[in-house]
């Protein structure tokens, strides 16, 4: 059981390991969107967005619901929004530490 959980975590983080996929998840954290809406918000071409959405769907991170000729994408788990917020906080902490180190180096 422990190995299955570790493998799930590894696969999950692999699914997040692309800047465009992260940005797509950030957009979907704000609410459900169609591919066209995601493209417009990201300023990215459709094939790139569709390709990354397919990866996220394949890893069960997002899902699509057919609505006429469109597919509306949603986060599979609302906790993904919190995960992205925590990742941002970790980034900010690293940035603060780097700035503090640079400032202390200037003073010496």
In this structure, of 20-29, 35-44, 63-72, 88-97, the range with the lowest mean pLDDT score is 88-97
Tokens of 1: 């059981």
Instruction: Give me the pLDDT at residue 20, please.
Output: 96
CB 35 within 8 A of CB 46: yes
User: Which domains are assigned to the chain?
Assistant: 2-76 (1.10.10.10)
Instruction: Give me the pLDDT at residue 80, please.
Output: 95
Average pLDDT over residues 89-101: 80
Is this structure's pTM higher than 0.75? yes
Average pLDDT over residues 41-49: 89
Rounded CA separation 78/23 (Å): 16
Rounded CA separation 14/69 (Å): 30
Q: What is the mean pLDDT of the chain?
A: 91
**Torsion angle in degrees (nearest 10) through CA of 19, 24, 27, 30:** -120
């Amino acid at each position: 059981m422990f190995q299955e959980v570790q493998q799930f975590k590894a696969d999950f983080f692999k699914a997040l390991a692309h800047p465009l996929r992260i940005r797509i998840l950030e957009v979907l954290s704000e609410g459900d969107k169609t591919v066209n809406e995601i493209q417009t918000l990201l300023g990215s071409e459709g094939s790139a967005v569709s390709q990354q959405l397919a990866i996220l769907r394949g890893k069960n991170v997002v899902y699509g619901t057919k609505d006429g000729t469109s597919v509306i994408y949603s986060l599979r788990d609302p906790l993904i929004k919190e995960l992205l917020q925590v990742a941002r906080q970790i980034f900010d902490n690293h940035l603060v530490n780097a700035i503090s180190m640079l400032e202390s180096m200037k003073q010496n």
